[in-house]
Amino acid sequence: MSAANKRVRIRLTINGASRELEIEPRRLLVELLREDLDLTGTHIGCDTTYCGACTVLLNGRNVKSCTVFAVQADGGEITTVEGLEKDGKLDAVQEAFAECHGLQCGYCTPGFLMSTRALLSRVAHPTDAQIRKGIAGNTCRCTGYQNIFKAVRAAAGGAGK
Amino acid sequence: MSTQPPSSGTTGKGRWVGQPLRRREESRLVRGHGLFVDDYKLAGMVHLQFVRSPYAHARITHVDTSAAAASPGVLCVLTGEQVAARVNPFIEIGPGCDGKIVDLPMAVGKVRYQGEPVVAIVAETAADAADAADLVEVDYEPLEPVIDGEAAATSKSLLHEPLGSNVNWHSQFEYGEVDAAFRDAAYVVHIPRLHFHRFSSTPLETNVVIATWNLKEDTIHFLSTNSFPAFAVQFLSPALGVRIDQLHMESWDIGGGFGIKITSYPQMAVCALASKQLGGRPVKWVETRTEHMLASAHGNERTFLDTRVALDKNGVITAIDSRHIDDCGAYPRYEPLGCIIWAQVLPACYRFRNFRVDFSQVVTNKCPVGPNRGYSRMQHLWFIERCLDICGHELGIPTDEMRLRNYIRPDEFPYTTPNGCVYDSGNYPKMLELAKRLVNWDEWKKNQQIARAEGRWLGIGIGTTLDSGTNNFGQARIVNAHAPYSGQSKAAIVKLDIYGEVVVFMGSVPQGQGHETVAAQVVAEVLNIPPEMIAVKPGFDSLQNVYTGHTGTYASQFAVTGLSAIHGAAEKLRAELERLAAFALKAERAQLEFGAGKMGPEVRVRGTEKSINYWALANLVNVNNAELPQSMEDITLNCRYLYKAPFTVPDVEKKYGNLTLTYASQLHIAVIEVDRETFQPKILAYAAVDDCGTQINPRIVAGQMHGATAHGIGAAIMETCEYSPEGNMLTATFSDYTPITAVNMPELLCGDIESPSPFSYNGAKGMGEGGAAPVHTVCAALQDALFSTGVLIRDSFHTGDRIFEAVRRAESGADRGVRVERRG
Ligand code: FES
Ligand code: FES
């Protein structure tokens, strides 16, 4: 057990800042973010890679950070919900979710924002089918997805409301 | 305190009230700045993990925690017996249960459901605790599991031996002239068995607790996701042997609740004991999703047996006679309140006056139930909807016509039900008309003809339901005459702080319902200032917030109770400000008007330049106060108002009385096709019409309705808490339970009507639970699709494989499960 728990050193860029950390190899990326770096905007909602509350961007792709070991992200660039806002200005996806009431309790929201951000970086104007697929890995228990559909459309520059 | 709504009430739409304002909560939540319990890191905090039972029913023969105790980082290990030695069993609400059901925070001697906590381990880190948990050895001797609620009553295997059986509550309800109605009936429809399945709204955030037992002050601080702290403390205080005022309950953001987080007090108790043992270090417990599925709370499962429905020659239901068995899992906890709460909606949306039910509740070796969204009413509403829908099909009456013949009519409101509940307002035919228009009923009826001619299974179903809100706790006395509860109340404080800030303190414990926004809208209306000028404290804190014994967010009521309290407090503050301003401006109160000026919120003399702002008004009371006349010494600018709902205690003998104040209604129509190859149900169109009286914030109302609809659709076609005959939970992860996602959720065609409630100051009705309208609607659509195959929709849960089985059964000529007796 002790060999397995031997700490390793990794280097990451998180929300633009470079960080060096010593961690147990079994540390999950989500634990690293929440526990070691206090970036508690990224949430945990399940234990079988279903809910997407933990979604972050790793090298521009949306990943479920509960299913990535921190060591796997070594050398990578990570964006969390805390990194979306630039110079005091909300990202278009944050603005759209707030404007369309695409959230209630807000627990799933960071994950949805990151998945939407990744979707819109891949496809600027997604079809409804692409939107559904783009957020298929995220679960929301409050909104019934109706206003999330609207928010994603609005963020893409379409009519959200 | 006054039970009258404040006189100068703001009814209907205003400048702020009734507007679809953007929620103020969004601003922190979209930035990832929400503050959920798991986000807290307190100094010296340690982590608790439970070791849980793999068995549903077994005797614990041996527990060895020595290796775990010696594991790195471990600080203490608590077995069920050690915990039992330090607590009193939790109180039971049921009348006959006292001492017969011993509900402790952890299993002692035997386990009664899979996932029941057996050992608790506390360590420096969560990983240390998890490592140590693996080292605990427990030996079990399996006992016969009691899984089927119907068989539980007669099973020889008992969960709680002193109870003498597995029946936890039993009583008869009878209203009107049931036997006469059956004697005079033109038709009697017999339905031997209907079954409402177990599911849970599974909030995305699981239960989390941080307990700190401050040994110097002998107080216990709970940061927790518990959504009904005023209820939890009544269980925690006697169990932990402390006074209620020694408990300090706190929360900030809560990641959804839907009632499921009301019964988290057992885990809270264990964390508190561990903290005490560790000299007061904060003990954190974060439930995993699997633990949540296995052992937090599920919704009630209910079976309806030997049902007879009497109808006249026009298909109007005149009486229902039935036997209901509610399955509450291993421990009653919030139960047996569910044994009366269904009676809030006894006739559903229909006019029949004669009703008899033999109602019992049983315990089984499954996860204890909790008051899940639509609690206890949805099971009953589904039952009545199935009865009506089945009767309509059997008698060949078109589904819309069947409803119109049976609905309570718009001119009958306020309508007193056979058991004394008063439905405040509503217009079901109008909702039906609107839903038909939204879904394009006539077009789908034509499509259905074509589909049927092609041999396709396409059905159109209507579901009508109620969301009864603002419950009268007096109904608890019907299940237990000695229950020390009655009525319903909420309190709020609106105050003007020293520098002129308007601050609102509520008693609610919101979990995403936007209470901060709506509270600001109401106060803004009273003071005629923009909502941005009003601070509302988020979350709940029993040392700071203002609350009553009914405080919490449950039972669809904030728009009525919470806002009445906030409105009352704002009116009081307005009156104080007016008196002060009249003095300062040397004017008559009648000449004054409220608003916002260049110097912020102010009071001015109408038609003049003379004004005084809130800072100056606060100054008169708090700082420069020697000039204030004696007649104004009562002014504190700290105004508390207690709203007490106008209830009386129901007649316990007759089981008669008004159990809820408002009745929001929902009417949904679904068009569903069942694929003939895969038997998968596919929703082709879905309309949802809502009536919750006057809407305070239409944006929030729509959001609540969307959410409730998704829960219902998920429950009807995807989500079930399924157990094997041995008591293994088969859907104990999200991957197995499959909460509905964006891929399965149809886009809704929404509409609303507003029938203002005559019983609330603002015409609003509580809403948010939604009455499980989609479960009724999906079942009705499936019935319509499959009636010609001989399938009778008798269950509330329908995946492709279930439908396949039902069709096969029908094709094999098995008993359809319904019999129509035609008289004369
Ligand atoms: S926490 Fe659910 S997918 Fe990561
Ligand atoms: S807003 Fe609560 S889970 Fe999505």
Classify burial at B411, counting beta carbons within 10 Å of its beta carbon; exposed 0-12, middle 13-18, buried 19 or more: exposed
Which of B366, B305, B368, B370 minimizes the C-alpha distance to B146? B366
Q: Where are the beta strands (DSSP E) in B545-659?
A: 592-597, 600-605, 611-613, 638-644
What is the number of other CB atoms lying within 10 angstroms of the CB of residue B322? 21
Q: Give the closest-approach CA distance of B732 to chain A in angstroms.
A: 10
- The dihedrals phi and psi of B185, each to the nearest 5 degrees, come to -70, 145
- SS3 of residue B643 by DSSP: strand
Domain boundaries, chain B: 25-34+489-644, 38-143+207-286, 171-200+297-474+650-822
Backbone torsions φ then ψ of A54, nearest 5 degrees: -95, 10
Nearest Cβ partner of A106 from B253, B699, B700? Answer: B253
User: Which residues are CB-contacts of B165 (< 8 A; sequence separation ≥ 6)?
Assistant: B153, B158
**Residue A56 to residues A78, A85, B253, B338, Cα–Cα distance (Å):** 7, 14, 21, 42
Q: Which residues of B touch A145 (CB under 8 A)?
A: 706, 710, 741-742, 745
- Judged by DSSP in three states, B467 sits in strand
- Give the residue carrying structure tokens 């029941």: B116
Query: C-alpha angle with apex B139: B133 to B143, nearest 5 degrees?
Result: 125
A 17-56: CB under 8 A from B: 24, 26, 34, 38-51, 53
d(Cα B687, Cα B664) in Å, to the nearest integer? 17
Confirm or reject contact between A70 and chain B (CB < 8 A): no
Mutate to test the pocket of ligand 2, among A55, A141, A145, A152 (most ligand atoms within 8 A of CB): A141
Q: Is B743's CB within 8 Å of A24's CB?
A: no
The length of chain B is 824
Of B38, B41, B707, the CB nearest to A142: B707
**Domains with residue ranges and CATH for chain A:** 8-83 (3.10.20.30), 92-155 (1.10.150.120)
Beta strands at B422-423 and B208-214: parallel, antiparallel or unpaired: unpaired
Look at residue B10 in the predicted model and tell me its pLDDT.
Answer: 38
Reported as type and span, the H/E element at residue B537 is none
Q: Are B803 and B679 in contact (CB under 8 A)?
A: yes
CA distance B274 to B277: 5
Cβ separation A139–B204 shorter than 8 A? yes
Backbone phi, psi, residue B354, to 5°: -115, 125
Q: Is the dihedral of CA B266, B267, B272, B273 positive or negative?
A: positive
Q: Give the H/E segment covering residue B133.
A: helix B126-133
Q: Is A53 in the pocket of ligand 1 (CB under 6 A)?
A: yes
Sheet harboring B110-111: ordered strands across?
B110-111, B58-64, B137-142
Whether the CB of A68 sits within 6 Å of ligand 2: no
By the 8 A CB rule, do B517 and B562 touch? Answer: no
Query: In whole angstroms, what separates CA B372 from the centre of its chain?
Result: 5
Q: Residue B401 in 3-state DSSP?
A: helix
Q: Any CB–CB contact under 8 A between B26 and chain A? A: yes
Decide if B257 contacts B203 (C-beta within 8 A).
yes
Residues of B in contact with A26 (CB under 8 A): 127
Rounded to 10 deg, the angle between the B399-406 and B377-395 helix axes is 120
Chain A residues inside the 8 Å CB shell of B254: 105
User: Pairing between strand B58-64 and B208-214?
Assistant: unpaired
Those residues with Cβ within 8 angstroms of residue B271's Cβ, 6 or more apart along the chain or in another chain = B48, B209, B210, B211, B222, B283, B284, B285
Architecture label for domain B171-200+297-474+650-822: 2-Layer Sandwich (3.30)
- DSSP secondary structure, B613-633, as one string: EHHHHHHHHHTS-TTS-GGGT
Please tell me whether the interface predicted TM-score (ipTM) of this complex is above 0.95: yes
Residues of B in contact with A96 (CB under 8 A): none
Nearest Cα of chain A lies from the Cα of B577 at a distance, in angstroms, of: 35
Residue B201: strand, helix, or coil:
coil
Whether A146 is in the pocket of ligand 1, judged by its Cβ within 6 Å, is no
Report the nearest atom of ligand 2 relative to the CA of A105.
2
Whether A2 shows a pLDDT value over 60: the answer reads: no
To probe the interface with B, which of A108, A146, A149 has the most B CB atoms within 10 Å?
A146
Q: Give the residue carrying structure tokens 């280097």.
A: A11
Span from the CA of A64 to the centroid of ligand 1 (angstroms): 6
The two structure tokens encoding residue B225: 């996701």
Q: Which residues contact B725 (CB under 8 A, 6 or more apart)?
A: B145, B147
The domain B25-34+489-644 having CATH identifier 3.30.365.10: the answer here is: yes
DSSP state of B660: E
A105 CA distance to ligand 2 middle (Å): 5
Give the containing element (helix H, strand E) for B423.
strand B422-423
Please tell me if the domain spanning B38-143+207-286 has the same topology as the one spanning B171-200+297-474+650-822.
Answer: no
- At B509, list the tokens: 């414990």
Please state, as a whole number, how many other Cβ atoms lie within 10 Å of the Cβ of residue A15: 18
- What are the tokens at B760? 């609330």
Q: How is domain B38-143+207-286 classified at the CATH fold level? A: Aldehyde Oxidoreductase; domain 3 (3.90.1170)
Residues B93 and B476 sit within 8 Å (Cβ to Cβ)? yes
Predicted TM-score (pTM) of this structure: 0.96
- Residue A143 makes CB contacts below 8 A (sequence gap 6+) with A101, A102, A103, A104, B703, B706, B707, B710
**What's the CA gap between B361 and B152, in Å, rounded?**
10
At A3, is the pLDDT very low, low, confident or very high (cuts 50, 70, 90)? low
Q: How far is the CA of A106 from the centre of ligand 2 (A)?
A: 5
Q: Name residues 111-170 of chain B within 8 A of A (Cβ).
A: 127, 131
- pLDDT of amino acid A44: 98
Contact B463 CB / ligand 2 (< 6 Å): no
Contact B706 A143 (CB under 8 A): yes
Q: How far apart are CA B433 and CA B441, in angstroms?
A: 9
Asked if A48 and B748 come within 8 Å (Cβ–Cβ), the reply is no
Beta-strand relationship, B600-605 and B611-613: antiparallel
- Distance from C-alpha of B508 to C-alpha of B141, rounded to nearest angstrom: 45
Please tell me if residue B36 touches chain A, with a CB cutoff of 8 Å. yes
Q: CB distance from A144 to chain B under 8 Å?
A: yes
Specify the DSSP class assigned to residue B307: E
- Asked whether the beta carbons of B255 and B205 are under 8 A apart, the reply is yes
Residue B550's pLDDT is 85
Q: Would you call B15 an interface residue with chain A, using a CB distance cutoff of 8 Å?
A: no
Q: What is the mean pLDDT of each run of 10 residues along chain B (824 residues)?
A: 36 83 93 97 98 98 98 98 97 84 97 98 97 98 98 97 96 98 98 98 98 98 95 96 96 94 97 98 98 98 98 98 98 95 98 98 98 96 98 98 98 98 98 98 98 98 96 91 89 95 89 90 96 92 86 79 94 98 97 96 96 97 93 96 93 95 97 97 98 94 96 98 98 98 96 96 91 96 97 98 97 94 88
pLDDT value at position B8? 36
B656 DSSP β-pair partners: B651
A137 CA closest ligand 1 atom index: 3
DSSP state string for B48-102:
EEEEE-S-SSEEEEEEE-HHHHTSTTEEEEEEHHHHHTTSPPPP--STT-BTTB-
Closest-CA residue in chain A for B768? A142
Q: According to the model, what pLDDT value does residue B4 have?
A: 37
